[in-house]
Amino acid sequence: MKEHLRDYFPDRFPPSEGGTVKKLMNFLDESALERSKQACERKVMDVVNRSDELRLLIGAMRKYGCNFNIARHVVCERCSRCVGGFDPDTKQIVVCLGATFSKSKIMSILMHEMIHMFDYCRFKFDFNNLEHIACSEIRASNITYCSISDRINHRGPGKFDFKQTHQYCVKDVAFGSVKSYSPETSDEDLWKIVNKVFPYCYNDLEPFGRRATNGIRDLKQSYRERYYYGYE
């Protein structure tokens, strides 16, 4: 994981004396922290076991030769200014402790980050290539985010045009994610990257094969059709 992300995922990096980890969590003793992690892990396990959508992603990764084990590939950790992330160095999804108050929130985090993990599995994904990052962020936002309420919040053009508002929301969310990953890159250059890869990545809907225009029902339909595409 890139060094500048230390402020987002302090547990991913060796702590320094008086550093970010200490400042963030000095009010929690170790036993309280451990209880928080265990509660988070129980919720993660329950969400994965109950979710057709996540099981589809797991089966799709297996098709491409990537086994997924919850205990190995999902961890609950302390974070700052984010709710989760995917660390390609350890091949782990990080669920942030502060974001684990509800199972619906955990579900949202896992869906988003498992799409990144799926992309990393099926392609020669380079996390030093901003075009690759932008593409995966577009895909994750396209499939898991940008509902009607999300589109209103992003205040895109053509607020009564589904296609326009959805595409604008996806681009805007992807831009923000790439910006946090590469803050040293100018906004102008980041928008060029997002717009360059958008046409292909917006239409790449694997492994679901559809956008969730009818909500979760569409993604559950994808799960029922998984055998047609060789997914377990």
pLDDT digits (tens, 9 = 90+) for 4-47: 787 788 888 876 555 555 555 555 567 788 888 999 999 999 99
What percentage of the chain reaches a pLDDT higher than 70? 84
Q: How many domains does the chain have?
A: 2
Looking at residue 128, its pLDDT comes to 87
Same domain membership, residue 40 and residue 22: yes
**Choice between 30 and 205, residue whose per-residue pLDDT is larger:** 205
Looking at residue 13, its pLDDT comes to 80
Last residue of a domain, one of 73, 108, 124: 124
Catalytic residues: 113
CB 125 within 8 A of CB 146: no
What sign results for the dihedral spanned by CA atoms 201, 3, 122, 49? negative
Q: What is the mean pLDDT of the chain?
A: 84
Could you tell me if residue 211 is left (phi over 0), alpha (psi between -120 and 50 degrees) or otherwise beta?
beta
Same domain membership, residue 101 and residue 8: yes
Looking at residue 169, its pLDDT comes to 87
CB 138 within 8 A of CB 198: yes
What percentage of the chain reaches a pLDDT higher than 90? 49
Distances (CA, A) of 194 to 96, 150, 171, 185, 203: 26, 19, 7, 13, 14
Last residue of a domain, one of 124, 149, 184: 124
Mean pLDDT on 42-58: 93
Cross-strand pairs, 76: 95
Same domain membership, residue 158 and residue 45: no
Looking at residue 209, its pLDDT comes to 86
Terminal Cα distance for the chain, rounded: 30
Same domain membership, residue 221 and residue 194: yes
Domain that holds residue 159: 126-232
Is residue 200 predicted with pLDDT exceeding 60? yes
Residue-wise pLDDT for 81-100, tens only, equals 888 999 999 999 999 987 66
User: For residue 83, what is the DSSP state?
Assistant: S
Last residue of a domain, one of 124, 156, 183: 124
Mean pLDDT on 137-163: 68
Tell me the one-letter amino acid at 39.
Answer: A
Here the tokens at position 210 are 């559809």
Same domain membership, residue 98 and residue 21: yes
Edge-to-edge strand list for the sheet holding 74-77: 74-77, 92-96, 84-87
Same domain membership, residue 44 and residue 82: yes
Question: What is the Cα–Cα distance from 166 to 172, expressed in whole angstroms?
Answer: 10
Same domain membership, residue 9 and residue 114: yes
How do strand 92-96 and strand 84-87 relate by DSSP bridges? Answer: antiparallel
Which CATH number is 66's domain given?
Answer: 3.30.2010
Distances (CA, A) of 36 to 8, 12, 79: 18, 17, 13
Same domain membership, residue 162 and residue 115: no
CB 11 within 8 A of CB 71: no
Q: Report cis status (omega within 30 of 0) of the bond before 157.
A: no
Question: What is the Cα–Cα distance from 192 to 162, expressed in whole angstroms?
Answer: 23
Same domain membership, residue 89 and residue 42: yes
Same domain membership, residue 81 and residue 38: yes
Same domain membership, residue 116 and residue 4: yes
Confidence class for position 120, pLDDT limits 50, 70, 90: very high
Backbone angles phi, psi at 94, to 5 degrees: -100, 120
Is residue 121 predicted with pLDDT exceeding 90? yes
Same domain membership, residue 221 and residue 163: yes
